[in-house]
Amino acid sequence: MTAIIIEDLKKMYKDVKALDGLNLNVPEGRIYGFLGPNGAGKSTTIMSMLGIVRPNSGRIELLGKEVFNDGFSEGNLVKAKERIGYMPEHATLWDFLTPLQTLDIIGLAYRIPKMERAKRARELLEMVDLWEDRNRKVGKFSKGMRQKLLLVQALINDPDLLILDEPMNGLDPKGIAEFKEIIRRQKDEGKTVFFSSHILAHVEEVCDTVGVIVRGKLRLEDTIDNIKREFLERGGYVILVETNKPVDFTGTGWKVETRGENRYVIRASSDVRERVYDVVSSQGAKILQMKVRTPSLEEIFLKVVE
């Protein structure tokens, strides 16, 4: 089953095309990284899925329910949102409430029974190390503590689809590691995570599939491994080699740079590692280390955006 289907979604803000025929497909059980430069349409996409922004046309299906088809189906939207958790990038928490009160109110909105709300709230607050602060006013919380509370309020209904918009802003390294582990745990439990972030290293570490939106259109969508493989095949291979003695690569047709003693950087249009081994062996040398330098997600993102 597919968790999110978006077809030919369009949204205009006066003369600006925020979404220009966007198509998106997120299978269940994936951690999907949604990437794009500022103004690309990421927030408009999320707001459209949640029914906060009304697109001009197109179709949206969430968790098997068609929630928009050139107009919102309010009944289907409500049913879908009962199974969705959302952590917004910019949110106003009730500063005069405590974490326990905050989660109780949100749990009540989901019609979760009182005893279950209390049990769920304790589990979640302990998970993010906020249990000791459960009766402290949220207005006294640091930015990182507020981010943790925003995350657990999105989990209070044990959602099948978790939508996270820039979730790791303001977190210290320990908090970031905790968030990554929580996100991975959702996938292990069969949940789907739709994860928007501008910190590409975080996306690369936790997501198995990414989509890149530029000017309201999806420019790239695939698993990270497939994307890297495709960019290697298109842009050429960079192979790092270290040998036990000097090797002459003249006549191979490769671009070769010498980096230090018996260390070489080989650039070729294809994966020539087997031929490298043959050339080195034919000269009585041994390979001590050989690896392909794969492009980072950040390098790929910049090329797609350009």
Q: How far is CA 174 from CA 89, 257, 303, in A?
A: 20, 40, 31
pLDDT at 90 over 80: no
pTM of the model: 0.83
Contacting residues for 104 by C-beta, under 8 A, at least 6 apart? 117, 118, 121
Q: Write out the two tokens for 247.
A: 């090797």
* pLDDT tens, position by position, 180-224: 999 999 999 999 999 998 778 888 889 989 999 999 999 889 888
Cα 259 from Cα 275, distance rounded (Å): 20
Per-residue pLDDT, averaged over 282-305, amounts to 85
Residue type, position 167, single letter: P
pLDDT digits (tens, 9 = 90+) for 147-167: 999 999 999 999 999 999 988
H helical segments located in 128-172 = 143-155
- CATH number listed for the domain at residues 2-222: 3.40.50.300
Which class would CATH give 236-305?
Answer: alpha beta
**How many secondary structure helices (H) and strands (E) does the chain include?**
10, 14
Say which residues have a Cβ less than 8 Å from residue 92's Cβ, sequence separation at least 6.
none
Domain coordinates in residue numbering, the chain: 2-222, 236-305
User: What is the per-residue pLDDT across 123-139, written as a single tens digit (0 to 9) for each?
Assistant: 999 999 999 999 999 99
